[in-house]
Amino acid sequence: MAGILQRNFDSPDETRPFEESSGRLDVINTPKGPVGRAVFEPGWQWSKHIKPIAGTESCQSAHTGYIVSGRMKVVMDDGESTEYGAGDFMIVDPGHDAWVLGDEPCVAVDWTGFGEYAKRS
């Protein structure tokens, strides 16, 4: 098929659960690379729930994405920080921690950073 593709995140190619039932990543593989939808549950934090899987001190994935719902705070290794909420587009370079703000799950779609994210070896 040339030029058009339709997929649904409710039928992903792969689902990767996070530590302690803190969420999951649904991955769809496309001809142009993987796209992921993450559901980060309240209380989720990269350094608690993904660091044990990644084995790095901070998240080393670059993210280009969109926040569908909820809120998240991102803090770079150098201390720069911002908060993202529903409707926000984001670009985040490698070298950061992140966590959910509030009592609502944060749902994010990412076109660049979820190919290897939370992938167990």
Answer yes or no: is 92 within a domain.
Answer: yes
Please say if the pLDDT value at position 1 is more than 70. Answer: no
pTM of the model: 0.94
Alpha carbon of residue 98 to chain centroid: 10
| Residue range 20-54, pLDDT digits in tens | 999 999 999 999 999 999 999 999 999 999 999 99
The enclosing domain of 56 has a CATH number of: 2.60.120.10
Give the pLDDT score at 74: 98
Residue 4 lies in a domain: no
Q: How far apart are CA 60 and CA 10, in angstroms?
A: 27
Residue 7 within any structural domain of the chain: no
Does the residue 53 lie in any domain?
yes
User: Are 81 and 69 a contacting pair, CB within 8 Å?
Assistant: no
What is the CB-side half-sphere exposure of residue 114 using CA atoms within 13 A?
Answer: 26
Total domains in the chain come to: 1
